[in-house]
Amino acid sequence: MTHFPIGPIGPPHRGPLIEMYERFDPLGGALGLPPRTAEARRAWIGNALGHPINVAAFSQIGEIVGHCFLVVDKPGSAEMAVFVHQAYRRRGVGAALVRAALEWGGTAGLRRGRAVTASENEPALRLLTSCGFGVTQSDHFVTDMEIDLPVAWATRETFQPLPDLSCCWV
């Protein structure tokens, strides 16, 4: 398994994140996300980067290959979204992103993480279950999952700042 550095991202990473989602497949495959049109996708990315907990996985050449963010939905709780570029799936990227985001969320004071996925999205269900999420509700269309924070596997390490990779993107 190849190592993919995971680190925090924010608005300065908008361009590289747009590039990842422009190459993402399937668009709209996760309950309509990422949005199918470029305009809607760019607005969604801007909104996602407005949330304080955003992490990305980087390839060996500095491209973003995965993205995970938490959206606080009520005090002490956040909903998680995670997307991994199709060329990097089943290589541990998703699990690393989920763990990093949940660790950061727990450190920031969150006590519960939530995720919602299509009930037929077996890869997402396996990923979330492997990271400690449990099913709270499920029907033929949607499965809701939750995890208590802080999680037992969290290391409580502080994120190291990412190197400035802005030189690498046009």
Domain ranges in the chain?
Answer: 6-152
Please tell me the predicted confidence (pLDDT) of residue 155: 52
With CA atoms as reference, report the closest residue to 61 among 167, 146, 151: 167
* Superfamily of the domain at 6-152: Gcn5-related N-acetyltransferase (GNAT) (3.40.630.30)
* String of DSSP letters for 84-151: E-GGGTTTTHHHHHHHHHHHHHHHTT--EEEEEEETT-HHHHHHHHHTT-EEEEE-SSEEEEEEESS-
pTM of the predicted model, to two decimals?
A: 0.86
Element (H, E) at 164: none
Q: Are 39 and 27 in contact (CB under 8 A)?
A: no
- Strand, helix or coil for residue 73: strand
Cα dist. 5→2, 139, 160, 165 in Å? 10, 36, 10, 13
Q: What is the pLDDT of residues 115-163, one digit of tens each?
A: 999 999 999 999 999 999 999 999 999 999 999 998 765 554 444 444 3
Please tell me the predicted confidence (pLDDT) of residue 88: 95
- Strand, helix or coil for residue 168: helix
Place of tokens 């959206």: 71
Q: How far apart are CA 169 and CA 13, in angstroms?
A: 10
Q: What mean pLDDT comes out for the span 11-30?
A: 90
Please tell me the predicted confidence (pLDDT) of residue 2: 54
pLDDT band at 30 (very low <50, low <70, confident <90, very high): confident
- Maximum pairwise Cα distance, the chain: 47
